[in-house]
Chains A and B, each alone.
Chain A
Amino acid sequence: MSKKFAWKRGVVKPATRDYKVGDVVIFQAITIHPMDTGFQKDKHSGQIKPRFFVEELKILYNDKEVCSFDFEVSSSPNPKVKFPLKITGPGVVKAIWKDNMGATFEKSVKISPK
Chain B
Amino acid sequence: MKRREFLQLSSAAALTLLLGSPQGLHAEEDDNEAIEIPFKEAYADATEGAKKVVKNAKEMKLNIPDAPENGLVVPIEVEVEYPMTPQRYIKEITVLPTKNKVNKVVTAHYTPANGKAYLYVNAKLGGTQEVVILARTNDDVIFEKRKKVKVALGGCG
Interface residues of A (CB under 8 A from B): 24, 26, 28, 37-41, 48, 50-51, 61, 64-77, 79-86, 88
Beta-carbon contact of A74 and B108 below 8 Å:
no
As a 0/1 sequence over residues 107 to 124 of chain B, the CB contacts with chain A under 8 angstroms (1 = contact) are 111110111111111111
* B118 in complex: contacting residue of A37, A40, A41, A82, CB < 8 Å: A82
CB closest chain-A residue, reference B73? A76
Contact A51-B37, Cβ < 8 Å, known A70-B106, A72-B106, A74-B100: no
CB closest chain-A residue, reference B112? A86
How many interface residues does chain B have, given as a range?
35 or more
B57 at the interface (CB under 8 A from A): no
Residues from 18 to 71 in B contacting A, C-beta threshold 8 Å = 31-35, 37
Q: Which residues of B contact A66 (CB under 8 A)?
A: 111, 113-114
Query: Could you name 5 residue pairs across A and B whose Cβ atoms are closer than 8 Å?
Result: A38-B34, A66-B113, A73-B102, A81-B119, A85-B114
Beta-carbon contact of B105 and A74 below 8 Å:
yes
Beta-carbon contact of B34 and A37 below 8 Å:
yes
The complex places the Cα of A80 from the Cα of B73 at a distance, in Å, of: 10
Beta-carbon contact of B121 and A74 below 8 Å:
no
Beta-carbon contact of A75 and B121 below 8 Å:
yes
Beta-carbon contact of A74 and B124 below 8 Å:
yes
The complex places the Cα of A51 from the Cα of B100 at a distance, in Å, of: 16
Residues from 117 to 141 in B contacting A, C-beta threshold 8 Å = 117-124
Beta-carbon contact of A38 and B33 below 8 Å:
yes
Contact A74-B102, Cβ < 8 Å, known A37-B34, A51-B32, A51-B33: yes
* B122 in complex: contacting residue of A24, A68, A80, CB < 8 Å: A80
CB closest chain-A residue, reference B114? A84
* A39 in complex: contacting residue of B34, B113, B115, CB < 8 Å: B34
The complex places the Cα of A85 from the Cα of B100 at a distance, in Å, of: 31
> Could you tell me the distance in whole angstroms from the C-beta of B96 to the nearest C-beta in chain A?
9
Which 9 residue pairs spanning A and B have beta carbons closest together? A38-B34, A86-B115, A82-B120, A76-B122, A50-B32, A84-B116, A24-B115, A72-B104, A70-B107
